[in-house]
Structure 1
Amino acid sequence: MSQSQARKRRADAQRSVASIVAAAVQVLNDDPDASMEAIARAAGVTRQTVYAHFPSRDHLLRALLDRVTAEAVAAIDAADIDSGTALDALFRLLEASDRSAGRHPVLLQTLRAMRLDQSADAQLHAPVADRLRRILRRGQETGEFDRQLATDWLIAATIKLGHASGEAVGDGRLSKSEADIALRTSLLRILTPGQTR
């Protein structure tokens, strides 16, 4: 096989993967129990092509998780989190992440149910954690946020509270506005100096 043929095959494979992932995002957001066959039809490929790239449903769901995370990171980066007060930047990060998540509510419930090992979960959250670290350290340096609490703990707490907020809305335990207020209030109590003494 010539180099140009090999490049063409790689480009075709990349297009197939992109089509499958894009179709799966839409199909599974409409019906989380949709079959691989339904995803293949929506992507305009055969079921065998889907399985050639994603040997199992779990492999496909992991690719969707990566895609949704990349979308959230792009939204966060567009929110200009390096300007203004650290608290304002944190709330802009949360709003950007929330807008991104709002595009795929049903799919996100399916993805939240996935069981990732600790290493995979940390890798998945690393881009968001890096951006949170910048904001939180800035807030600790300026005195907006409590300096006695470890930054890594604050990152973990912020991510977990964000997930809890989304899950409460998804489960119907809280309305969207109630969850937003609970998340902001909880973060203020954790982050603000003097609140937890």
Structure 2
Amino acid sequence: MASAGGSGGRPQRADARRNIAAILDAAVLCLAEDPDASLGDIAQAAGVGRVTLYGHFKSRADLVDAVLTRTMAEADEILDRVDTTGDPSAALTRLVEASWQIVHQFRAVHRAAGRELPAERLHGSHDRVRRRIQSIVERGRRSGTFRGDLPAKWLTTTVVGLMHAAAEESAAGRLAAGDAPRLISATVLAALTAPDESSGASSG
């Protein structure tokens, strides 16, 4: 693990905090340009020496882990401001649109984390986002808005998976980032909306 929290639990000096912040900022920028950016590249972009960087982060994996942690903390702050009350479909649409912006902005961090960190660490970093989505899904199931014939966790996984798939399509130039929120929301609601049993019965 990174030593960004200070050794022995002692408070960090102001210059150490500034260095750490500069390194994390530089890491986000460097990883966006090249998911394989080296620690030397990141140190240079942060304006610190390699010795300083290694004094806070013992390995590239430690640094990527710290970047991921900060990214998810920023995501939580953004999603805390999303109105998830009221109609489940509208609430889920608002949450998906806000989540997409985060996924799109930090897709390079996610890609680097996928290369450097264990799968369970990457999966676990999304737990709070999944809980937000699943809470709306379960509310929608109780109200009959969302389908109850499939597990709530599977529906939640579908939502998360679509957002990451859209991020990959956008990165590859096959999907305009501005179109993604509308397409993701439309696909999600089509997948989650409860089947109209009356229309199915009449067509039989």
Q: TM-score under structure 1 normalisation?
A: 0.80
Deviations 1:27-69 (A, max 9, x none): 3334545432332233332211212222222221222222222
Alpha-carbon distance in 2 for matches of 1:167, 1:112: 15
Aligned length, in residue pairs? 190
Q: Structure 1 stretch 90-99 or stretch 21-30: which is displaced more? A: 21-30
- The aligned amino acid for 1:135 is I
1:78 aligned residue (76, 81, 85): 81
- The aligned amino acid for 1:92 is R
Are 2:124 and 1:123 equivalent residues in the alignment? Answer: yes
Alpha-carbon distance in 2 for matches of 1:143, 1:179: 27
Are 2:173 and 1:172 equivalent residues in the alignment? Answer: yes
Match in the other structure for 2:136: 135
Alpha-carbon distance in 2 for matches of 1:160, 1:128: 12
1:37 aligned residue (22, 40, 45): 40
Shift in CA distance, 118/37, structure 1 to aligned 2, threshold 3 Å: closer
Structure-to-structure mapping, 1:14-163, within 5 angstroms: 14-81=17-84, 83-104=85-106, 107-108=108-109, 110-111=111-112, 113-114=114-115, 116-163=117-164
Match in the other structure for 1:193: 194
Structure 1 spans left out of the alignment, 5+ residues:
1-5
Identity %: 37
Alpha-carbon distance in 1 for matches of 2:123, 2:110: 19
Structure 2 spans left out of the alignment, 5+ residues:
1-8
What do you get for the CA RMSD once the two structures are aligned? 2.8
Alpha-carbon distance in 2 for matches of 1:154, 1:115: 28
Deviations 1:80-132 (A, max 9, x none): 22x12111111111111222344445x34743652644421331111101111
**Residue 139 of structure 1, CA deviation:** 0.9
SS class of match (2:175): coil
Shift in CA distance, 114/148, structure 1 to aligned 2, threshold 3 Å: same
Alpha-carbon distance in 1 for matches of 2:174, 2:164: 14
- The aligned amino acid for 1:123 is G
